[in-house]
A and B are shown apart, each in its own frame.
Chain A
Amino acid sequence: MLNEVDLSKYEKITAKTIPTEKGISSGHRACQGCVEILAMGMVMKAVGRNVIVANATGCMEIVTSPFPQTAWNVPWMHVAFENTSAVASGIEAALKIREKHGKLKGERPKVLAFGGDGATADIGLQALSGALERGHDFTYVCLDNEAYMNTGIQRSSSTPYGAMTTTSPPGSNSIGQSTWKKNVPAIAAAHNIPYVATASPGNYLDLMNKVRKAIAIDGPAYIHIYAVCPTGWGIKSEKGIELSKLAVKTNVFPLYEVIGGKYILKENKNPKPVVDYLKIQRRFRHLSETDVEYIQKRVDAEYAHLAAMASCAAPEEEENDE
């Protein structure tokens, strides 16, 4: 299905018009150098104040809401780990019916759901799939730090191949994480929803504008955000943004959108070698040259696949390339 997606309400952010209003305030309890909270802050700046947030259990929930304190300047609800999409479904349905009954004052608020990679790719995948399939008008943001960081760095299905976690330790019989990262954006796109995107806080304008598109369209949107965890990945706390950019430049985490089924890939003309990305993280330090070669090949193959998807969806550009 290649839908026409109405982006007429999309309000683009430029370097000069970055919103300063914060839905989430500083003074939360995230680790030093946490890129996940940084990404969350960017999302909230792009969304604005007229929003209701549903948040899955996880680092972000814990660090922003230790009663009686809260970092949230917008209405926020945390229920449990696996059900954020369902909670958001209920909020959205209630808002719509209350609007229909004339019980809402002002414009209907946006509905935003946050989950980590465990809450999204593992335990909450069913609820996410249900909410996307039902077509609720909400934006789901996965903040992917590639393991269960809140419980102490256990592997998830979103942990990259080869990474060391506390439940995928390398050893004589183990390379570390033995499976390739689950492709949740592709799963989201398979629901034929109007908008899917990947984003990195290293490309902050791109990230915020993807959020702006997600909230501008009618129906479900899914944004998968790369979120460096210095504590869990074994990098210096000031290196988060640098690594966020490197993930994109090495094609480890390509930035793309799927709008109405059409893939749009930001072309990476001179990709850096994957080894540059791997070598600065303690979680990959045990990998051999052969392992790195394998990862490079697979990263190349995945990028080529994505590029093919993008060219399939946009044949006129393919002609231009020839």
Chain B
Amino acid sequence: MAKRVGLEVSLAVADAVKMSKAEVVSAYPITPQTHIVEELSHFVANGELDAAFIPVESEHSAMSAAMGSAATGARTYTATSSQGLALMNEMLPIASAMRLPIVMTIANRSLSGPISIWNDHSDIMSIRDVGWVQIFVENGQEAFDISVCAFKIAEDHRVLLPMGVNMDGFMLSHMIEPVEFPDQSDIDDFLPGFTAKMILDPAEPVTMGPVGVPEVYMEAKVQCEQALINSKPVVKEVLDGFAAKFGRQYNLVETNGKEGAKTLFVTMGSLGETVMTSVDEMNADGKDVGQVRIRLWRPFPQEEFLAAVKGADKLIVLDRALSPGGVRGPVASELASLFHGQADAPEIVNVVAGLGGRDVSVDEFKEIYETAQSGGFKDAYTVWGVMSNA
């Protein structure tokens, strides 16, 4: 029988990795990801998880060891945050280019400097284009469920790409939430062991990571991008399969609030839950507002997003990272590209908020809504909540 327990979301993720029967975990401590790998090392130490735990000497080595492991055919997991992700940066496009299905939790945290252990999306936005499948979760149950799904998606022979599961550091990773744990046998049915397509094996030698001369480099990159684009229907299929088995449906893009609302908040990550409360309260007050939450960030679910915002004439796009010197924040820029050339494109109001762990309250989202309605956001983007001339 599935059981429901209250626990820290980091620990729920560790349980998901355990129940997914990861074979190799390589990890280096960094706040706020640490509780996940601490718990996994306990599982390995007490025999609950029969895996190799490699306590590497850096995140760069965490990803490098994960790559060696996945190439040798083991189900492989790691987790990181912020500076750790930045240190791994060099390895990430190589992992996707080598088609290695590593699953990594990223407890999103702002990048230094100044040094900050708190949450925003500057870490993940700095590695947007590394060719990984990238997904965001909003709550503890979703963190558990999507972590299990991530192995199934990444290891699918139609995908064979690394996958990053993003969850907001502290604001989600350290929350105590009720999480329903399925039976191990049901997880085993849903997620069989990893069968690699090509591994390092003396019986059938392969050369992995050869030199890409100009005559082949572009073809290799394009094939890799195609693999990422092709992963979208598999992500959908796996999430639908999960819903059929476990009863919890996750879509690539979610909507809530008043149906057919003319103004929609667009969010990604756990701040979406605060916006959800705000939207509910505003709807109760008769406001014409709804919300669209982006779950799959790469590959970007273009059709699903367009369907979700159909009929809206204004999008209030929330970004939790700056694109310094750029036109807008990263999510708003993405959407501006998406709507380029469309006659009925909605107006994009871009608000950058909640950097470095700065809280944004339910009431502030109401204020943001009112400001947007009165045309108060005049610039391409506005950084919300900055103390004037601080």
Residues of A within 8 A of B (CB): 49-52, 54, 61-62, 65-68, 70, 72-80, 82-83, 85-98, 100-101, 103, 105-106, 109, 126-127, 129-130, 133-134
Contacts and interface: CB of A to CB of B under 8 A. Distances in A.
Contacts, number: 164
Interface string B62-77: 1011111111111010
Interface string B6-25: 00000000000000000110
B76 to A, nearest CB: 7
B210 A66 contact: yes
B52 interface: yes
A89 B201 CA distance: 16
Contacts of B57: 126-127, 129-130, 133
B208 interface: yes
Nearest to B68: A90
B69 A90 contact: yes
A94 B23 contact: yes
A24 B98 CA distance: 22
Nearest to B90: A80
A90 B64 contact: yes
30 contacts: A52-B202, A65-B210, A65-B211, A66-B213, A68-B210, A73-B205, A75-B207, A76-B207, A79-B64, A83-B61, A83-B64, A83-B91, A86-B64, A86-B68, A88-B68, A89-B26, A90-B67, A90-B70, A91-B69, A92-B68, A93-B24, A93-B26, A94-B24, A94-B68, A94-B71, A97-B50, A100-B50, A109-B201, A127-B58, A130-B57
Given A52-B72, A78-B209, A86-B56, A127 B64 contact: yes
Contact of B67 (A67, A73, A79, A130): A79
Contacts of B192: none
B23 A98 contact: yes
B54 A126 contact: no
B210 A70 contact: yes
B65 A109 contact: no
B260 interface: no
B211 A87 contact: no
Contacts of B205: 72-76
Interface string B331-368: 00000000000000000000000000000000000000
Contact of B91 (A79, A91, A106, A130): A79
B211 A101 contact: no
Given A66-B213, A83-B91, A94-B74, A101 B50 contact: yes
Contact of B73 (A62, A83, A103): A103
Given A65-B207, A90-B68, A91-B68, A134 B54 contact: yes
A94 B26 CA distance: 11
A52 B200 contact: yes
A118 to B, nearest CB: 16
Nearest to B217: A67
Given A78-B209, A89-B68, A126-B61, 8 more contacts: A49-B202, A61-B211, A75-B204, A80-B91, A90-B67, A90-B72, A101-B23, A127-B58
B94 A80 contact: yes
B75 to A, nearest CB: 9
A89 B202 contact: no
Contacts of A91: 68-69, 71-72, 200
Closest 8 CB pairs of A and B: A90-B68, A130-B57, A90-B65, A86-B64, A86-B61, A94-B72, A83-B64, A94-B74
B55 interface: yes
A54 B65 CA distance: 11
B206 interface: yes
A103 B194 CA distance: 11
Interface string B37-60: 000000000000011101111101
A101 B24 CA distance: 12
A73 B202 CA distance: 9
A67 B213 contact: yes
B213 A94 contact: no
Contacts of B69: 90-91, 93-94
Given A87-B65, A87-B67, A97-B52, A74 B209 contact: no
B212 interface: yes
